[in-house]
Structure 1
Amino acid sequence: MDRGKVASILTVVAVIAALVVASALPAVAQRPIVTINKLSSPAGSGHPEAWQLIGSLLAKKHPWLRLNVQETSGYFFNLKAMIEDPWRYKDTMAGIEFYGLSVARTGRADFPAGLKNFKPTVLIYDSVWSYYLITPNPEVKTLYDLKGKRLITGLKGGTTGQSAISAVEAAGLKDHTRIEFITFARQIDAMNDGLGDAVWVFTPGNAVTHNYTGPIMITEAKASGKPYRAVGVPAEVIKKMKDSGLDVFPLTTPRDILDRPGPITVIGIVGGTLVDATFPEDVAYELTKFVVQNAQEIAESAKWFRYW
């Protein structure tokens, strides 16, 4: 047999041997799909919309991490769910603000047992949220002018609705102001239909640059053609809230969100995406890394995330 044929036979034998050896080795298992449940907030806030974008990007780019975004009535609902449902610890992250944590720790409202076994751990900081009034009503110049009037705010399950209750109480208006709890997407319509005299709103922003953006109620107020303006919160009201154990602080903005001359003083509250301390660390790392690595693409499509 000539050398060429011998070489060919040896090559075939070597390939077969390699295949046999390879088949005997344990296969590298592909990690099964891991789905994180994200408790967000009502549509119109910008939160579920932005997180749905991240979920879409994960499905396109990540081999095993997925995101299930759940619209909720707000951050208070999310905190309640994390406290009452320990089964969520292993796969759920929730939008929660420190204001809500302070309410729970002091045993107020719907949290008589405090945080129970929930050990809140910050996965991603959102930023500082600002809370204040907007109104086209010339009679409402300060929070105190809401005496005998109607205030529209967010749902009771959210920080916006709950902080409105606290601010009204701190201003001594509990028995003198009617509060209407309406989802974000309907607030300005309700105002323009004559159902309220002012709206208690929130806006996300960068606490360092003071660059603020507006959720749907700000956008609609600007587009309404009515003379909406921002009304700040008196410093003594914020101090009274803080002294009672609530995690709030005064924040002065260089301009208001409606692009009118500032400054105004608003209630500042820090918010974020929180998990329980037992949440899988490798999953938390993968998600955080993905957000950082894709921050530019996220920012281009979801304006809210430009302020991280």
Structure 2
Amino acid sequence: MEFTKNLLIVAVITAIFFGIGFGGATGVSAEPPKMNFLASSFGTSSYILGVAYEDISKRFYPDLIFNMRETPGLIYNLKKLATLTPEEKKETIITAYDGLTWLAVRGKSPFKKKLTMKIKMLCAPPALTTYFMTKNPDIRTIEDLEGKKVAVGKKTQLGWGQHPKAYLYEGAGLEGKVKLQFVGLKHALSAFKDNLVDAMASGAYVNPITYDLILDPQTDEILSIGQKVYFLSPGNDAAIKRIEAVTGLSHTITIPPGKIKFQERPIIANLGMTYYAGAEELREEAAYHFVKMMITNVDKLRKYHALGKLMTRESLVYGMTKENLHSGAYRAFKEAGLIE
């Protein structure tokens, strides 16, 4: 009897030592999954939001070790993700842009070869939509810009340069019929204020669910001085499809009249989706906890950046499907009742 009792004591001590226990695992909890987040260059909204996510993870979400990394930009992010080792891909996510990814998988400039790796989405911050504004009341549609001077961003910019070009050329059929000037937004604004151009690129970051928006600084400055302007949609449904064919912008938005000061008619425009993504190799638990952290703390983001005010639980999953989501992200959204 004493021998049996001693054996039981030894068994209990051994079980405790190895963290087994008689009722299941009782050892030290496993370390939370790690995630390296490739944001963008210093001072950009992507960078500031990345700082916010890291701070939130440290203060409010201990189930994820989140490390924000500054990068040269979104082109670098895609190229970097493609060159990571399989082990590095398991704990790396990036800030991406759908128009840029569309170019990457086709090997179009600025990419020298096709991106062949599969990218899985996690969730989305606010989207960018661009269109045009003019002071001329006789310019009522984008087609009325024929023969006119139009200032946009730089050639190296997608949302403010190449996409407005597509609106004019492919959407409205004005290639060779409009005087398009790639001068950068700062110079475009100066030219617009001095009446040196007839129209310029305008836009906003939007929540595509609520239609809440934050105007770009150029438009905001024009409206703040009380200047009457007219907004021009990139086009009708047919034009939007032609634009999608050359930009990859598959989402659209219709901004109802009155959402912007002086806006008299709906603005129908393509939507440029920024999103967070990873490789297929990204760990299930890392993807799950990142999205769960975003869902449970989205209301705190307004304290870090103006774009945080646009983000809601529902907007995080905009444009996402079971097929394009990482399985861990899908699980988090499904648990929250945000996706079927």
Shorter-chain TM band? 0.7 to 0.9
Q: TM-score, normalised by structure 1?
A: 0.72
1:266 is matched with 269
Q: Which runs of 5+ in 2 are unaligned?
A: 1-12, 20-26, 316-340
1:108 is matched with 108
Task: Tell me by how many angstroms 1:121 deviates.
Answer: 0.6
1:24-63 alignment to 2 at 5 Å? Answer: 28=28, 31=31, 34-40=34-40, 43=43, 46-63=45-62
Task: Tell me by how many angstroms 1:199 deviates.
Answer: 3.2
User: CA deviation digits over 1:174-212, x for unaligned, max 9?
Assistant: 4443332536x7864564466754332442323333333
1:283 is matched with 286
The answer as to whether partners of 1:152 and 1:196 remain within 8 angstroms in 2 is: no
The answer as to whether partners of 1:242 and 1:248 remain within 8 angstroms in 2 is: yes
Task: Tell me by how many angstroms 1:76 deviates.
Answer: 4.9
The answer as to whether partners of 1:188 and 1:220 remain within 8 angstroms in 2 is: no
Task: Tell me by how many angstroms 1:72 deviates.
Answer: 4.8
The answer as to whether partners of 1:95 and 1:272 remain within 8 angstroms in 2 is: yes
Report how many aligned residue pairs link the two structures: 284
1:86 is matched with 84
Whole-Å Cα distance in 2 between the matches of residues 228 and 77 of structure 1?
Answer: 37
The answer as to whether partners of 1:132 and 1:231 remain within 8 angstroms in 2 is: yes
The answer as to whether partners of 1:156 and 1:181 remain within 8 angstroms in 2 is: no
1:3 is matched with none
Task: Tell me by how many angstroms 1:23 deviates.
Answer: 11
Letter of the structure 2 residue corresponding to residue 286 of structure 1: H
Larger Cα Rg: Structure 1 or Structure 2? 1
2:244 is matched with 242
Task: Tell me by how many angstroms 1:41 deviates.
Answer: 6.8
Q: TM-score, normalised by structure 2?
A: 0.66
Q: 1:282 to 1:131 in 2, by over 3 A?
A: same
Matched, 1:212 2:210: no
Residue 126 of structure 1 aligns to a residue whose secondary structure is: coil
* Percent of aligned positions that are identical: 17
The answer as to whether partners of 1:140 and 1:146 remain within 8 angstroms in 2 is: no
Whole-Å Cα distance in 2 between the matches of residues 255 and 262 of structure 1?
Answer: 5
The answer as to whether partners of 2:137 and 2:230 remain within 8 angstroms in 1 is: no
Residue 273 of structure 1 aligns to a residue whose secondary structure is: strand
The answer as to whether partners of 2:35 and 2:286 remain within 8 angstroms in 1 is: no
Whole-Å Cα distance in 2 between the matches of residues 43 and 82 of structure 1?
Answer: 22
Task: Tell me by how many angstroms 1:30 deviates.
Answer: 7.3
Task: Tell me by how many angstroms 1:295 deviates.
Answer: 1.8
1:215-226 alignment to 2 at 5 Å? Answer: 215-226=216-227
The answer as to whether partners of 1:251 and 1:266 remain within 8 angstroms in 2 is: yes
Q: Which runs of 5+ in 1 are unaligned?
A: 1-19
Matched, 1:252 2:251: no
Task: Tell me by how many angstroms 1:21 deviates.
Answer: 9.0
1:149 is matched with 149
Whole-Å Cα distance in 1 between the matches of residues 191 and 42 of structure 2?
Answer: 17
The answer as to whether partners of 1:126 and 1:272 remain within 8 angstroms in 2 is: yes
The answer as to whether partners of 2:131 and 2:233 remain within 8 angstroms in 1 is: yes
2:6 is matched with none
Letter of the structure 2 residue corresponding to residue 122 of structure 1: M
The answer as to whether partners of 1:152 and 1:182 remain within 8 angstroms in 2 is: yes
The answer as to whether partners of 1:97 and 1:159 remain within 8 angstroms in 2 is: no
Whole-Å Cα distance in 2 between the matches of residues 80 and 280 of structure 1?
Answer: 20
The answer as to whether partners of 1:130 and 1:267 remain within 8 angstroms in 2 is: yes
CA RMSD of aligned residues (A): 3.8
Letter of the structure 2 residue corresponding to residue 60 of structure 1: R
Whole-Å Cα distance in 2 between the matches of residues 245 and 65 of structure 1?
Answer: 36
The answer as to whether partners of 2:129 and 2:269 remain within 8 angstroms in 1 is: yes
Q: 1:50 to 1:215 in 2, by over 3 A?
A: farther
